[in-house]
Copies of this chain bind each other. A is one copy, B any other.
Amino acid sequence: MNLRELSAHLGLSQTTVSRALNGYGDVAPATRRKVVEAAERVGYRPNSGARRLATGRSQALGIAFPVDRNLLLDPHFIEFIAGVAAHAGEQGYDLTVSPTTGTEGEVYRRFARMRTADAVILSGPVLEDPRIALLRGLQLPFVVHGRTQTPLPYAFVDIDNHGAFRQACQLLLDLGHRRIGLINGDESQTFARDRRAGWSSALMAAGLVAATDGLARAGAMTEENGYRFARDLLETSPRPTGLICSSVLLAFGAYRAVRDLGLAVGRDVSVIGHDDELPFLRPHTLDPPLTVTRSPIRKAGERVADFAIRLATGTPIDRLAEIKPVDLVYRGSTAAPEVR
């Protein structure tokens, strides 16, 4: 069933039916109701190719899917995509994921030229991200998950990484900790830098300037790295009594390291992790339950999709910037350090 058939069936012109269905004016309420009902009844769905051709818009969001880079290793990214997909779907938008090896430029160029996506979503921004300039050049609307350095305004959704990690570190300081290690994600990415900055700013403010030296490790957020980094830090002397991890996966590894060294989480070493709410790794099921800074990455995905759609439909960029606050959830993995 296509538009022509539907309008013939209704005894109306294609114009009117189209306008009725797309919510334009110039059509009497009664007519509109009739049209909408009929469309519903016969199960009319506009052909996406035709609409795409006629409007030049594709009703799709694009996202580059790096098949060999770190991002993919990363369940965080996936959970984020889930959020994007969920919201896009609700709004009748498709999500086109285009895999890419190496640089994403090729994909964006295709998106732009084939008009295959109305807006694209940028993940894992680094401090000076060449993709920004590329997308601007291509005139392809984009929204960034995270932030980056660029003179011009751009649409983004981020969480308060700095604040979260400052607060986490402050909590440990307040409990009496003095040597607090940081197990961070890849510090070429902005979120990780922000977190490090948050952590060190708390230490600085407490007058522990030297305390940042050698107490940070960074790398891909895997359990394995969590173990390695934690073990590495815990073997320095004097031993840190607190560890702040950029993900639950890292914290997971840190727990294992603590145990392996014959220590106990909570008693000997306080641990805080950042919880993106990955559904298959829940911090409260750890033993002891993990204290976390928490911000659901899926929700961020939804918000990003929302921004992307609005951007594609004309909302000005400067309205599309958001920094979400982060919760701090106190659980059993943090305590005052033992007196020695």
Contacts and interface: CB of A to CB of B under 8 A. Distances in A.
Identical subunits present: 2
A65 interface: yes
A116 interface: yes
A99 B110 contact: no
A49 B279 contact: no
Interface residues of A, number: 50
A88 B97 CA distance: 10
Given A280-B73, A280-B223, A282-B224, A48 B99 contact: no
A114 B47 contact: yes
Contacts of A73: 279-280
B222 A280 contact: yes
A45 B85 contact: no
A96 interface: yes
A100 interface: yes
B224 A285 contact: yes
Contacts of A98: 85, 89, 94-95
Contacts of A46: 114
A314 interface: no
A323 interface: no
A95 B282 CA distance: 30
A78 interface: yes
Contacts of A58: 48-49
A245 interface: no
Contacts of A222: 280-281
A109 B45 CA distance: 9
Contact of A85 (B52, B97, B114): B97
A223 B281 contact: yes
Contact of A48 (B67, B94, B115, B249): B115
Contacts of A88: 99
A279 B53 CA distance: 40
A53 to B, nearest CB: 4
A78 B85 CA distance: 13
A75 interface: yes
Contacts of A37: none
Contacts of A319: none
Contacts of A45: 109-110, 113-114
A50 interface: yes
A279 B116 contact: no
Given A60-B96, A72-B279, A281-B223, A65 B48 contact: no
Interface string A137-179: 0000000000000000000000000000000000000000000
A338 interface: no
A110 B56 CA distance: 20
A96 B95 contact: yes
Interface in A32-57: 43, 45-53, 56
A128 interface: no
Nearest to A57: B49
6 contacts: A48-B115, A49-B58, A49-B115, A72-B82, A73-B280, A224-B285
Given A52-B52, A72-B279, A94-B98, 12 more contacts: A45-B109, A47-B53, A47-B114, A48-B116, A52-B53, A53-B53, A65-B85, A75-B75, A85-B97, A85-B99, A95-B98, A222-B281
